[in-house]
Structure 1
Amino acid sequence: MGHKINPTSFRLKITDTWKSKWFSKGNYVAQLHEDIKIREYLEKHLRKAGLSRIDIERLNDGTITIVVHTTKPGLIIGKGGAGIEELKKRVKQQLKIKSELKVNIEEIKDRDINLHAQVIANGIAEQIERRVAFRRLMKQALEQVMQAGAKGVKVAIGGRLNGAEIARTEHLSAGKIPLHTLRADIDFARSTAHTTYGTIGIKVWIYRGDVFENKTK
C-alpha cells in the first residue's frame, strides 16, 4: 500500500498536515478548484525562487491567506515589499479572485534546503531544461541530500531521456525509504522539465528520520 499512493497523503496527521486549511459547507468544489489554480500559478511563476511548499488558509470572512515556503524570499518580496504586492495583484487579476488576499513568506534556512523534496525536484527540472546530463543531476542530488543529514533519498526521472525514441524511467537511491512505516518522515515531490523532446517527469523522496510524536500538533 505504501508504494501505491502519495507518501504525504498516506501520513497526514502523523508526520504532516494538510496544505489547504479551511471548511466549507456549500461552496467546497469552487473553493477547491480555486486552491488548485492558485497552486499551479504560483508553482509555475515562483519555481526559480526555491519554492518548497504552498499552504492556503481561508477565514470565515472569506480572506485567503497564502503561505509560501521558499529558500529565496528576497526574489518574491522584492524591494520594500513591492514584489509581494505585485504578486497579489497578478494572482487576483489572472485567476479572477474576488476575496481579500494575503501572502506570507516563510524562509527555509540554509541548513535545511537540501532536505526539501520540492526544492530538489525543481532544481533537477531547471538543470534538465538547460541540457545538463540527467544521470549527473541524480548523483549530485543524492550526495547533497545525504550530506544534509537525510536517512535516505530516491530520485526517479522519466520521459524521452537524452532524446530517446522510447520513453523510460530511471531510478537512483541512497540509504533507505521505508514507505510502509507511518512514523517515517518522508517528504515527496514532483516536478516537470519542458524540453524540445517533450516533458520529463521528476519525482523525489527524502527520508528525514522517524517521528515519534504527532508532528502536526
Structure 2
Amino acid sequence: MGQKVHPVSFRIGYTKTWSSLWYADKKNFGKYLHEDLQIRKHVLKSFQQAAISKVEIERASEKVRVNLHTARPGVIIGRKGADIDRLREELQTVIGNKEVHINIREIKNPALDAQLVSENIALQLEKRIAFRRAMKKAIQQAMDAGGKGMKVQTKGRLAGAEIARSEGYSEGKVPLQTLRADIDYGFAEALTTYGKIGVKVWIYKGEIMKKAETRAPKKEVEIVEEKPAGEKPAEEALHASHA
C-alpha cells in the first residue's frame, strides 16, 4: 500500500511556509525550538474554545511575535483586551521574560480551514453523533463555501465496533501530487469511551500560480538565412550565366 505524504510539508518552500519563521545558530536552535513548543502548548491549552487553527512564531533579536489564526478572535481578546494582555504576560514568563507581541488574524471562512473542520468532526464524535453524518455534513459545508474538493477519513473503533477500521468520504478532486495545488490539511483526535478516533481532512481550494509561471505570449521569430561571404544571390548568378 502506498502511503500519503503530509500535504503541507510536501509544499514547503513552494506554496507553503514554516510555522516558525526564524534563524538560529547551533547553540540556540534547541532552546528556541523548545520555547516554540511551550508557546503552542500553552496557547492551545488556554483557549480550547477559541477555534485556533494555526500558531505562527517569528523572532527578531530578543523579540517574539506570535500570530494566532482563529475563527473566534473575541474569545482571545476578551473584554477590553484583558485576556490577550494576560496571555502576553504568561508567555513572557514561559519563555524567560522576552518581549512578546501577539497578533490576531481572523479566519474569514472556517468551513475551508482543514484543522478547524477536523476538530469540529472530532467534537461531534465525542458527542456520539454518527460519524458518517458528521463527515458528510462537513464536506457539504466546505463545497458550499467554495471548495474545489475535499476528503475526510476517520480511523478507530467507529460506532463502538470491536475491531478498529477506517472509513472516508470525498467529493470533487484532491490532487495530492500537484505542487501548485492549494491543499489544506488538518488532523484531530476524538476521545470517546471506546478509545481515540483519528480524523484527517484534506481540502482543495484551487491552484496557486507563481509569478514566474505566468508566461508572456510567444512571439513569432523570423528566420533569416545567412549566405557565405562572396556568394551571389540566385538572381544575380542567373543573369551572369546568360551574359
TM-score exceeds 0.5:
yes
Structure-1 residue corresponding to 2:104: 105
Is the counterpart of residue 32 in structure 1 residue 60 in structure 2? no
Structure-2 residue corresponding to 1:71: 71
Give, as a single letter, the amino acid of the residue that structure 2 aligns with 1:14.
Answer: Y
Q: Deviations over 1:142-187 (max 9, x none)?
A: 0001111111001111112122222211111111110010000000
Is the counterpart of residue 16 in structure 1 residue 20 in structure 2? no
Q: Deviations over 1:107-140 (max 9, x none)?
A: 112xx22111011111111211212111110000
The alpha-carbon distance between structure 1 residues 47 and 203, as it changes in their structure 2 partners (threshold 3 A), is farther
Are the equivalent residues in 2 in contact too, given 1:11–1:182 (CA < 8 A)? yes
The alpha-carbon distance between structure 1 residues 199 and 97, as it changes in their structure 2 partners (threshold 3 A), is farther
Q: Deviations over 1:35-72 (max 9, x none)?
A: 12322332344342121211111111x22211001111
Query: Equivalent residue of 1:136, what SS?
Result: helix
- Structure 1 or 2, whichever has the larger Rg, is 2
Range with bigger deviation, 39-48 or 100-109 = 39-48
Is the counterpart of residue 163 in structure 1 residue 151 in structure 2? no
Are the equivalent residues in 1 in contact too, given 2:35–2:95 (CA < 8 A)? no
1:199-214 pair list within 5 angstroms: 199-213=196-210
Report the Cα distance in structure 2 between the residues aligned to 1:176 and 1:3, rounded to whole angstroms.
18
Task: Let me know the Cα RMSD of the aligned residues.
Answer: 1.8
Report the Cα distance in structure 1 between the residues aligned to 2:192 and 2:87, rounded to whole angstroms.
27
The alpha-carbon distance between structure 1 residues 22 and 50, as it changes in their structure 2 partners (threshold 3 A), is same
Report the Cα distance in structure 2 between the residues aligned to 1:47 and 1:135, rounded to whole angstroms.
25
In structure 1, list runs of 5 or more residues that go unmatched: none
Report the Cα distance in structure 1 between the residues aligned to 2:3 and 2:159, rounded to whole angstroms.
28
Structure-1 residue corresponding to 2:194: 197
Normalising by structure 1, report the TM-score: 0.89
Structure-2 residue corresponding to 1:53: 54
Q: Deviations over 1:65-97 (max 9, x none)?
A: 11001111001100111010222334455x454
**Which stretches of structure 1, 4 residues or more, deviate above 3 A after TM superposition?**
89-93, 95-98
Give, as a single letter, the amino acid of the residue that structure 2 aligns with 1:163.
Answer: G
The alpha-carbon distance between structure 1 residues 213 and 96, as it changes in their structure 2 partners (threshold 3 A), is closer
- 1:101 deviation in Å? 2.1
Q: How many residues align?
A: 209
Query: Equivalent residue of 2:49, what SS?
Result: helix
Q: Percent identity?
A: 47
Are the equivalent residues in 1 in contact too, given 2:181–2:206 (CA < 8 A)? yes
